[in-house]
Structure 1
Amino acid sequence: MADPERFLRFEHQHRDGLHTYVIRADEADLPGPAWSGLWEQNYPEDPDINPWQRHGINNNDGEALAVWRALAWALTAGRSRFAIPTYYRDQAAQCLSVDRQTVQLVRWEYEVDVEQPECLSADVGFVPARACVSLWPAPDLWERRHAEFAGLFGLDSFRDFTNLDLAVAGDASSELTLFALSDPARAGFLAASLNQADRPYLADILQPGDIFVDLAVMHDLGIGASSYLTVKTSEATEKVGHLADHFSRSFRRYLDRVGQIRTFEEFHAAIDDLLAPPDTCSR
């Protein structure tokens, strides 16, 4: 029987001047949707009740990926958070109800290649950014002029983070990168580093106390493809392991009770408990 908690086990290495914590999960490692209502019941239109719009959970992207997102958010608590939703910049702005022309544009974005079956080769690093340009309706002038820029979004809440994930999750694969700065005054430095002419290096950007997280996900896993949750810091931290243990216990509790869930309201209460960080969980 497959281990349902394997998707929360990190491997730690020190390379390229940074401490790197990675989870690599192939199709056998990521548990499928656990609550039967995700495929048996019709989803409500209300975004606060619809499981996809509220939590990024449906009958394809089950609860496990939401746990990854919750772990990333808990890990970066107490810091100023900035995210790059790969490719779907303008869609992300729309999800956050932000005018696309006010978004901080950057020339570089991070890439973890989900088609690579090994962590080291999958971690590509910074690559030239690109954004989606619509085919129909025809793209406007602003879209065409800014096709080679990603968007760097400031985040105020976990719901914002979830909304960005929803903006990129429509393809077979998606990527969402999170920069968490211990000093909010360094936001300008981050943007400038991602806008420079030469390829930036993450070790030159992260300072003590900063945390980098990348969620590169295969939504339709093929042969040899994997999903990756990557964490990088300039200093070693035990918090990664502590949070992995916390969410493993939460996921185990959730699986124990999931068969008793009957309604969307009960489901959301269980998911809120599942995704809660250690200081706010109910048990």
Structure 2
Amino acid sequence: MPHLEPFLRFAHERRDGLHCYVARADEADMPGPMWPGLWEQDYPDDADLNPWCRYAINNGDGEALAVWRALTWELTAGRSRFVIPAYYRDEAAQLRSVSREAVRLVRWEYEVDVEQSEWLSADVGFVPARACVPLRPAPGLWQREHAGFAGLFTLASFRHLTDLALAVGGDATSEITLFALHDPGRTRLLASTLNQAHRPDLAEVLQPGDIFVDLSVVHDLGAGAASYLTVKTPEATDKVELLAGHFSEAFRRYANAASQIRTFDEFHSAIDDLLAPPRSIGTI
């Protein structure tokens, strides 16, 4: 197993009937922006060339969080993916060009508290959902009546996951929760479970072959204790460690070459290589 970058080191324990794999990254562990062009060059207006619009990478978050998202995407491959972007439900719908009436509304969302320095206390579990209700312009009746609901979105591509990162990434902290179901026929059951009157139990939500991932992130280093990438599964798996090894090596190669990147086209090519999946990987 190769040496792992600090933000890709996962601790494994069994808790509440599930296998839990957690990467914790505080200010010392989370790398800053690697490519000097992220703060030295003006970003293009063209969204396809703009690092923030294309990858949710800028001179604040840098490249590491995109690696977390790439690992999440590869880890959940072959499953039906559903995601809750915390708080910014309507912004996520707008970015995905989904009408608010078409969004699955749920009463419960997952919470990992980034203000806690240890995962055991940070892993809060399901909490009542809430969505952003703007003050200006004045919110409409629908917004006021649905402030206590999160949105459960279908995740069809890595581009969709990036869009959700853009939707929630404007605050000092953000959270995205992903449910990857082995059996796509359980979609309605997942939605109804997250919309029930009493607090769901994640161990009962997940069935064999399912994977749960939560990305809780500190964007402003003064806003919280640590960022957490949390993975939970009913069965033990070596896939988390294998992907962590792959992306650690890819990140090390990228970091070593970042100072040689001159243009945004070269940057995009390097990031595509950084986020690319391994040619083969173990299965859960």
Report the TM-score range of the alignment, normalised by the length of the smaller protein. over 0.9
1:124 counterpart SS class = strand
Instruction: Kindly state the Cα deviation for residue 279 of structure 1 after the two structures are TM-superposed.
Output: 2.4
Task: Give 2:71's aligned residue.
Answer: 71
2:162 counterpart SS class = helix
What are structure 2's unaligned runs of at least 5 residues? none
Deviations 1:199-225 (A, max 9, x none): 001000000100000000010123861
Alignment of 1:103-252 (within 5 A): 103-222=103-222, 225-252=225-252
Deviations 1:126-162 (A, max 9, x none): 0000000010000011101100000000011000000
Task: Give 1:267's aligned residue.
Answer: 267
Deviations 1:141-195 (A, max 9, x none): 1101100000000011000000001100100000000000011111011001100
Task: Give 2:37's aligned residue.
Answer: 37
Confirm or deny: 8 A CA contact 2:172 2:223 kept in the other structure.
no
Distance 2:43 2:53 in 1: 10
What are structure 1's unaligned runs of at least 5 residues? none
Confirm or deny: 8 A CA contact 1:17 1:234 kept in the other structure.
yes
1:101 counterpart SS class = helix
Distance 2:147 2:128 in 1: 11
1:229 counterpart SS class = strand
**RMSD over aligned Cα, in angstroms?**
1.2
Distance 1:223 1:169 in 2: 13
Are the structure 2 counterparts of residues 207 and 252 from structure 1 closer, same or farther at C-alpha, using a change threshold of 3 Å?
same
Instruction: Kindly state the Cα deviation for residue 237 of structure 1 after the two structures are TM-superposed.
Output: 0.3
Distance 2:90 2:221 in 1: 26
Bigger mean CA offset, 228-237 vs 250-259: 250-259
1:221 counterpart SS class = coil
Task: Give 1:253's aligned residue.
Answer: 253
2:61 counterpart SS class = coil
Are the structure 2 counterparts of residues 171 and 224 from structure 1 closer, same or farther at C-alpha, using a change threshold of 3 Å?
closer
Instruction: Kindly state the Cα deviation for residue 45 of structure 1 after the two structures are TM-superposed.
Output: 1.1
1:44 counterpart SS class = coil
Distance 1:224 1:42 in 2: 29
Instruction: Kindly state the Cα deviation for residue 100 of structure 1 after the two structures are TM-superposed.
Output: 1.1
Runs (4 or more) in structure 1 with deviation over 6 Å come to none
- The AA in structure 2 aligned to 1:240 is V
2:12 counterpart SS class = strand
- The AA in structure 2 aligned to 1:53 is C
Confirm or deny: 8 A CA contact 1:4 1:29 kept in the other structure.
no
- The AA in structure 1 aligned to 2:33 is P
Instruction: Kindly state the Cα deviation for residue 257 of structure 1 after the two structures are TM-superposed.
Output: 1.2
1:82 counterpart SS class = strand
Confirm or deny: 8 A CA contact 2:10 2:241 kept in the other structure.
yes
- The AA in structure 2 aligned to 1:111 is E
Distance 2:152 2:199 in 1: 17
Distance 1:97 1:279 in 2: 33
Report % sequence identity.
Answer: 72
Distance 1:276 1:179 in 2: 22
Confirm or deny: 8 A CA contact 2:4 2:245 kept in the other structure.
no
Aligned residues: 278
Confirm or deny: 8 A CA contact 2:173 2:223 kept in the other structure.
no
Confirm or deny: 8 A CA contact 2:4 2:244 kept in the other structure.
no
**TM-score, normalised on structure 2?**
0.96
